[in-house]
Structure 1
Amino acid sequence: MATLKNYKPEKRPMAGKKFVRVACVQAPQVVFNKWKQIEVACKYIKEAGEKGVELVAFSETYIPVFPAYYTGGYESNVEEWRLWNIGLQDNSIVVPSDETDAIGKACKEAGVYCVMGVNELDDADGVRTFYNTQIMFGKDGRILRRHRKLTPTYSERCYWGSGDGSDLGVVETDIGRIGSLICGEHHAILIRAAEMLMGEDFHIANYPGCHKAQSGEKFLVANRDENAYGCECHLGAREYALEAGCFCLCSCGILGEKDFEPEYKSLIGSDHLNIDWAIGGSAIVGPGGEYVVKPVFDKEGLVIADCYADDIKVSKMLFDAAGHYSHPEIARLVLNTKHYTNLNIIENSSPKKGISYKDLKNLSEEFEVDLDKLERIATRIEKHNQGLAIDD
């Protein structure tokens, strides 16, 4: 029987695996002590590996904390504002670093893929700008992808810079294709379309915690009812899973007063601090937009599900956004993946030293060119490179 030379079994849903066990890690943050928090994260990564989990997802900016819990501005108490922001500066993550190495080591020992949410501190010299970042670690502990949130939402702009299209993408792995976006990016129509069109089996959607917008005393109010229209994180995760035909890990944060380090306890009770938003709500959604695991509130731990490849096949028979529903002859998407920098140094391209007499002699003999003529040409080239006047 003839075989298809270009047949690629790894292109099947979830790389041909029958099912993959995944988990959202709903763990408290440690405000502000990144090394304690990394210890907690590594503990959960180890536990996940022991339970047969191959992919784990942490909440948005899990390390060291979601900064916009503190909604400070020009009217803030100066000392309170300084305490929060310096704590954030001192406990954020550079990529790569000793901190990422520690997380990578835990992933390697547990044999899991991990998408970790961090406040990333720009590694450019003299720069103190943060990014809301997802770091994807491989089973071997290597960093496979870094994604910076493209646009901070509302008061988040007090803290984070903007990402770009250079780090949008999907990683091909032995458990399938894994992609991710952060919080409000799931409502950015063209951004989520670009990610979907790269083809995902698993999508990580991480959020700071569950809340919903409504009228009342505060603009955002915590919501624990998974059956309500409720928090936009669940709306976004379910719609994304349905449109992409993939499994979506909606990973949300949880935080309480006990999770503040002693020197930061004074912030509790501030009019600007809203940790009541972080009540969890992590859930796992199937490719039909249905809950595989319903939102879990007010509880620390692993939210685990077995994801079956056949569910993707059935879902895409009905609706395949990148396939029979895409219609590129009608509408197409252009993605700019260039990364821009604000300082581009053009180095002097002139040679560090002139051509030697021996080289000129060899060229003269090889190509039968007069040696004196070659010497004159070489001299003119050298003067030109040095910006000197050239004799006629």
Structure 2
Amino acid sequence: MTYPAFKAALAHVAPVFLDKDRTVEKACSLMREAARNGAQLIVFPETYIPAFPVWCALQAPIHNHDLFRELAANTIQADGPELATIAETARECGIFVSMGFNEGTTVSGGCIWNANVLISDEGTVLNHHRKIVPTFYEKLVWAPGDGAGLVVSSTRLGRVGMLICGENTNPLARFTLLAQGEQVHLSTYPPVWPSHDPAVHENYDLKNAILIRAGAHSFEGKLFNLVAAGYLDREARDRLASRDQEAGRILDASPRGISVAIGPNGTPISEIMQEDEGLLYANVDLSQCVEPKQLHDLVGGYNRFDIFQLTVDRSAQRPIRFRANGTDEDNDTPEADTLTFRS
């Protein structure tokens, strides 16, 4: 058995706020930069295209209809031309890409999912995942996903799985990936996540929360965890602050997300990037995942499968199913299980 070793790039970067086309251009530029620097995998943040809807934490929903419309207009579809451009760039650069995006659908102009795709170095989609449950105020924007993307992809870099933000808190979701032999876990987060008014209550410590969750999953699974959080740039901050006199104060005092690589012992193997925008690089050597399994192998000898059993439904949700002559027709909705790009 061989154990791959490779360099990964974690994109601690901001989108071009609510502009899908320019954000795709920026993403492709970053992919080329990462490839030039020897990276074989690049991980982008949660809903990088075209933005994380942090405005839901800053104003009541009755004031945010215009932002929701703008976000909906800049969603992309999983088989659409924007991801096709990213996939073609991945093929040209010979780099694997994990991309977070706001996913739309032709079925509904207002239905948006928090989605992520893993694209191979040959430009093919290996996995398409939708966040199972939006967290707190995120429910104002995103529909709940399904279990179809709880998949570990076998690649030349190893067995790769991914979860989005708060999903990394869900032990059953995490075990679902571990039980498929996950060796490299991709975790994506927003740039900032206000939970309280910092003037009256201690805020959610996003940095500490990420380190706890990423470290726990790495330690339990004896795997590498590559964390990419977004970056709140001045353009997005000022635009949101201009909408409400309290918004800027809350944003400025709310803890930022971090990007970091965690090793199989549960501790960081890279710098922690938080305050600056850029690419963070980390070296991954899967041979380091083997020895720790002697202590705790949760999907092997350190479990009792005669006692514990987990059943996961990976059916893809559909708004409608058609029947003709008493049998199901082939499903031809935009959310087909096997993705091909449309130009």
- Common fold: TM-score over 0.5: yes
* Structure 1 SS opposite 2:290: helix
Report the counterpart of residue 355 of structure 1 in structure 2. Answer: none
Paired residue for 1:169, among 137, 151, 155?
A: 151
Report the counterpart of residue 159 of structure 1 in structure 2. Answer: 141
Partners of 2:162 and 2:186 within 8 A in 1 = yes
Report the counterpart of residue 317 of structure 2 in structure 1. Answer: 340
Per-residue CA deviation, residues 123-181 of structure 1 (Å, 9 max, x unaligned), is: 4x345211111111110111111100000011110011111112211000011111000
Per-residue CA deviation, residues 314-333 of structure 1 (Å, 9 max, x unaligned), is: 22222211111121011111
- CA gap of 1:72–1:215, structure 2 versus 1, over 3 A, is closer
* Structure 2 SS opposite 1:291: coil
* Structure 2 SS opposite 1:162: coil
Task: State the structure with more CA Rg.
Answer: 1
* Structure 2 SS opposite 1:144: strand
* Structure 1 SS opposite 2:78: coil
Q: Does 1:93 align with 2:76?
A: yes
Query: Take 2:194 and 2:75, find their aligned partners in 1: how far apart are those partners?
Result: 27
Report the counterpart of residue 374 of structure 1 in structure 2. Answer: none
Q: Does 1:185 align with 2:167?
A: yes
Paired residue for 2:92, among 97, 109, 113?
A: 109
Report the counterpart of residue 242 of structure 2 in structure 1. Answer: 268
C-alpha displacement of 1:309? 2.1
Query: Take 1:199 and 1:56, find their aligned partners in 2: how far apart are those partners?
Result: 21
Query: Take 1:329 and 1:86, find their aligned partners in 2: how far apart are those partners?
Result: 51
C-alpha displacement of 1:24? 0.6
Query: Take 1:220 and 1:100, find their aligned partners in 2: how far apart are those partners?
Result: 39
Per-residue CA deviation, residues 196-249 of structure 1 (Å, 9 max, x unaligned), is: 11111110010003568688426674759xxxxx53112111111111111001
- CA gap of 1:223–1:153, structure 2 versus 1, over 3 A, is closer
Partners of 1:256 and 1:275 within 8 A in 2 = no
Report the counterpart of residue 327 of structure 1 in structure 2. Answer: 304
Report the counterpart of residue 221 of structure 2 in structure 1. Answer: 244
- CA gap of 1:299–1:222, structure 2 versus 1, over 3 A, is farther
- CA gap of 1:89–1:75, structure 2 versus 1, over 3 A, is closer
Report the counterpart of residue 53 of structure 2 in structure 1. Answer: 67
C-alpha displacement of 1:342? 3.2
Aligned pairs for 1:299-310 within 5 A: 299-310=276-287
C-alpha displacement of 1:282? 0.4
Per-residue CA deviation, residues 351-375 of structure 1 (Å, 9 max, x unaligned), is: xxxxxxxxxxxxxxxxxxxxxxxxx
- CA gap of 1:238–1:88, structure 2 versus 1, over 3 A, is same
Report the counterpart of residue 295 of structure 1 in structure 2. Answer: 272
Query: Take 2:84 and 2:96, find their aligned partners in 1: how far apart are those partners?
Result: 14
What is the count of residue pairs matched by the alignment? 324
* Structure 2 SS opposite 1:302: strand
Per-residue CA deviation, residues 13-65 of structure 1 (Å, 9 max, x unaligned), is: xxx32x21111111112112111111111111111111111111111111111
Greater share of helix? 1
Query: Take 2:200 and 2:49, find their aligned partners in 1: how far apart are those partners?
Result: 26
Aligned pairs for 1:307-386 within 5 A: 307-348=284-325
Query: Take 1:248 and 1:89, find their aligned partners in 2: how far apart are those partners?
Result: 31
Q: Which amino acid aligns with 2:27?
A: A
* Structure 2 SS opposite 1:128: strand
Query: Take 1:100 and 1:34, find their aligned partners in 2: how far apart are those partners?
Result: 11
- CA gap of 1:190–1:95, structure 2 versus 1, over 3 A, is same
What is the TM-score with the length of structure 1 in the denominator? 0.76
| Structure 2: segments with no counterpart, 5+ residues | 328-343
Report the counterpart of residue 195 of structure 1 in structure 2. Answer: 177
C-alpha displacement of 1:119? 0.7
Q: Does 1:58 align with 2:58?
A: no
Per-residue CA deviation, residues 69-92 of structure 1 (Å, 9 max, x unaligned), is: 433665643xxx232111101111
Query: Take 2:215 and 2:152, find their aligned partners in 1: how far apart are those partners?
Result: 19
Partners of 1:241 and 1:248 within 8 A in 2 = yes
| Percent identical | 26
Q: Which amino acid aligns with 1:83?
A: D
Report the counterpart of residue 142 of structure 1 in structure 2. Answer: 124
Partners of 1:255 and 1:275 within 8 A in 2 = no
C-alpha displacement of 1:102? 0.9
Query: Take 2:251 and 2:15, find their aligned partners in 1: how far apart are those partners?
Result: 11
* Structure 2 SS opposite 1:297: coil
Partners of 2:54 and 2:192 within 8 A in 1 = no
C-alpha displacement of 1:266? 6.8
Query: Take 1:222 and 1:29, find their aligned partners in 2: how far apart are those partners?
Result: 23
RMSD, matched Cα: 2.5
| Structure 1: segments with no counterpart, 5+ residues | 1-8, 225-229, 351-392
Q: Does 1:130 align with 2:130?
A: no
- CA gap of 1:218–1:132, structure 2 versus 1, over 3 A, is farther
Partners of 2:194 and 2:251 within 8 A in 1 = no
